[in-house]
């Protein structure tokens, strides 16, 4: 009975594949009889389908059904085969069951339950692409590049990415212990408390008078309009705004259109990103439509190894258009496009269908974006002034300042630690932004004086 069902399954699989091949082989089927069409289909199947491998597949299927230690229904086996087929392609192609598809929608809308980090698979372990701001993962000290090898007592090796993600999700308030390996060091434990993750993708503040800061933690459907609104509000409160830092560090990406919208805020015109793949329908080109909404405001973009996908699209576009100085460390290098394709009403698959390219034709995939100026994160401490040091103002019978200033004005005290000790990359970016702003101001002055000289010369003719 078993062998009979096995032969029937084999016939069904091969027959289905032959039926698909029939569509490829029948160029003039309407003018041929059924016998010739069937002969062509068989010939096409022999040329296009690896029949020996299909026989091996059905043999393995039959052996599992007959001899595996636990009885498994055929539907589960076939779905596992689909999962294996997709996950064997690349780290981002995967099978989507009903729960996975729902989670995908929650992720792009900006609210979901869990720990708050973007993850992938590497060598069978869960790799942290980036923790999300103000989430349990970020607060506990999870870092980009961390490898998670255990979830509570469950070893990650052997799990699919979706199975690992399901273990990390749970009731808000419940705890999970992660075993983490960082930069080849010994494993250590981190205890995280699950929470509802409501991601606020856009934040702004002033770093110093006239210098603003725009942080984008993730690209969601409303990130573009949110960023435009935030920039306008920043300029209304600070009419003398002279520069802006766009912080994309540890931003794992998200919605492609949001990346295009953010780039469009700063680019005056031209291509922002384009995609190429085997299928013509996945080849698209996105261009600037609104023009530079900041009127050329000096811009520095911060990136690091946790900046992935949509973040790299923005950094690459602004770099190719020479619209911003890219500062930090090399980005993650995820330059592939995933399309969500339905398989039924409740199931689908996420399939890599194309690659991203920057306006100048650079592929991001496995290369990332190289910053214009590399600034690695470092712990910086300020040197205390030498108590024996003497300045001119300390000397007896010294001359007073010609402008009437008796002594140096006291420096404004900061409420917390100096920026350079808290975030050396951001401090360096601010210094660069000040330099760009100063150079622009000097150039504007030179241009204005040149115009005045020309006008005076013309009036004298």
Tell me the CATH number at 132. 2.30.42.10
Let me know whether 216 and 341 are in one domain: yes
Same-domain status, 330 and 255? yes
Identify whether residues 284 and 223 lie together within a single domain.
Answer: yes
Q: Does residue 177 fall inside a structural domain?
A: yes
27 within domain boundaries = yes
* Same domain for 318 and 251: yes
Question: Is there a single domain that holds both residue 238 and residue 369?
Answer: yes
Please tell me whether residues 239 and 254 are part of one structural domain. Answer: yes
**Domain region containing 351:** 202-374
pLDDT of the residue at 29: 47
Is residue 152 in some structural domain?
yes
Whether residue 291 is contained in a domain is answered as yes
In a domain, 410, yes or no: no
Q: Is 216 within a domain?
A: yes
Task: Note the pLDDT tens digit of each residue in 145-189.
Answer: 899 999 999 999 988 888 899 899 888 899 999 999 998 789 999
Query: What residues act catalytically?
Result: 309, 320, 334
How would residue 97 be classed by pLDDT, with cut points 50, 70 and 90?
Answer: confident
Lowest mean pLDDT: which of 118-122, 229-233, 301-305, 384-388?
384-388
Of 222, 379, 375, residue with least CA distance to 300: 375
Is 273 part of any domain? yes
Residue 370 and residue 285 in one domain: yes
Number of domains in the chain: 3
Domain co-membership, 171 together with 271: no
DSSP reduced 3-state for 443: helix
Please, are residues 156 and 148 in contact by the beta-carbon 8 Å criterion? yes
Helix axes 2-25, 34-48, angle to 10 degrees: 100
Give me the mean pLDDT over the 81-105 stretch.
Answer: 85
Bridge partners (DSSP) listed for residue 197? 112
Q: What does the pLDDT average to over 241-262?
A: 95
Helix axes 256-264, 310-320, angle to 10 degrees: 30
Answer yes or no: do 123 and 193 share one domain: yes
Other C-beta atoms lying within 10 Å of the C-beta of residue 239: 7
Residues 270 and 333 in one domain: yes
Question: Tokens for 290?
Answer: 């609104």
CA 291 to CA 93: how far, in whole Å?
35
175 & 214 share domain: no
Q: Which residue, of 198, 232, 265, is where some domain finishes?
A: 198
Q: What tens digit of pLDDT does each residue of 319-366 get?
A: 999 999 999 999 999 999 998 888 887 889 999 999 999 999 999 999
- Residue 440: pLDDT above 90? no
Domain harbouring 264, CATH code: 3.90.226.10
The whole-angstrom separation of Cα 387 and Cα 408 is 17
Q: 156, 179, 198 — which closes off a domain?
A: 198
For the segment 367-419, what is each residue's pLDDT rounded down to a tens digit? 999 999 999 998 777 666 666 667 777 777 778 877 766 554 444 334 446 77
On whether residue 393 sits in a domain, the answer given is: no
What's residue 406's pLDDT?
Answer: 53
Picking from 198, 224, 243, the residue at the C-terminal end of a domain is 198
Question: How many angstroms separate the CA atoms of 127 and 192, rounded?
Answer: 17
Judge whether 270 and 232 are in contact, CB under 8 Å: no
Are the CB atoms for 314 and 301 separated by under 8 Å?
A: yes
Q: pLDDT at position 417, please?
A: 60
Residues 223 and 327 in one domain: yes
List Cβ neighbours of 291 (8 Å cut-off, separation of 6 or more).
Answer: 264, 267, 268, 269
Are residues 120 and 127 in contact, defined by beta-carbon separation less than 8 angstroms? yes
């Amino acid at each position: 009975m078993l062998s009979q069902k096995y032969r029937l399954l084999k016939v069904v699989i091969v027959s289905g594949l032959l039926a698909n091949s029939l569509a490829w082989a029948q160029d003039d089927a309407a003018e041929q009889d059924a016998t010739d069409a069937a002969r062509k289909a068989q010939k096409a199947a022999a040329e296009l389908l690896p029949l020996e491998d299909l026989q091996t597949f059905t043999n393995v299927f039959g052996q599992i059904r007959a001899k595996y230690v636990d009885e498994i229904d055929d539907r589960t086996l076939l779905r596992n085969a689909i999962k294996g087929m997709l996950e064997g392609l690349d780290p981002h192609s995967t099978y989507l069951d009903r729960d996975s598809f729902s989670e995908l929608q929650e992720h792009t809308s900006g609210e979901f339950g869990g720990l708050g980090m973007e993850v992938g698979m590497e060598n069978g372990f869960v790799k942290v692409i980036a923790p999300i701001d103000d989430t349990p993962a970020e607060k506990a000290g999870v870092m980009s590049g961390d490898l998670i090898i255990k979830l509570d007592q469950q070893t990650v090796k052997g799990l699919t990415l979706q199975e690992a993600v399901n273990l990390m999700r749970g009731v808000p308030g419940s705890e999970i212990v992660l075993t983490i390996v960082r930069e080849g060091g010994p494993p250590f434990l981190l205890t995280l408390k699950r929470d509802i993750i409501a991601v606020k993708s856009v934040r702004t503040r002033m770093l110093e008078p006239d210098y603003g800061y725009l942080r984008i933690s993730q690209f969601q459907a409303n990130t573009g309009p949110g960023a435009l609104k935030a920039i306008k509000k920043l300029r209304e409160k600070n009419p003398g705004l002279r520069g802006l830092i766009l912080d994309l560090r540890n931003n794992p990406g998200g919605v492609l259109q949001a990346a295009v919208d953010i780039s469009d805020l700063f680019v005056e015109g031209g291509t922002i990103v384009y995609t190429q793949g085997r299928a013509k329908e996945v080849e698209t080109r996105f261009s600037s439509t609104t023009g530079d909404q900041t009127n050329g405001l000096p811009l520095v973009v911060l990136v690091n190894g946790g900046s992935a996908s949509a973040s790299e699209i923005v950094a690459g576009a602004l770099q190719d258009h020479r619209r911003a100085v890219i500062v930090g460390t090399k980005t993650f290098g995820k330059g592939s496009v995933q399309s969500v394709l339905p398989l039924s009403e409740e199931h689908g698959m996420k399939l890599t269908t194309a690659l991203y390219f920057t306006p100048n034709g650079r592929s991001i995939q496995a290369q990332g974006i190289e910053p214009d100026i590399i600034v690695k994160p470092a712990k910086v401490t300020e040197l205390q002034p030498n108590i024996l040091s003497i300045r001119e103002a300390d000397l007896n019978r010294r001359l007073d300042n010609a402008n009437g200033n008796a002594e140096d004005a006291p420096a404004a005290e900061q409420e917390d630690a100096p920026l350079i000790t808290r975030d050396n990359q951001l401090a360096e970016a601010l210094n660069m932004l000040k330099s760009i702003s100063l150079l622009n101001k000097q150039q504007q002055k030179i241009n204005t004086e040149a115009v005045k000289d020309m006008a005076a010369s013309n009036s004298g003719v």
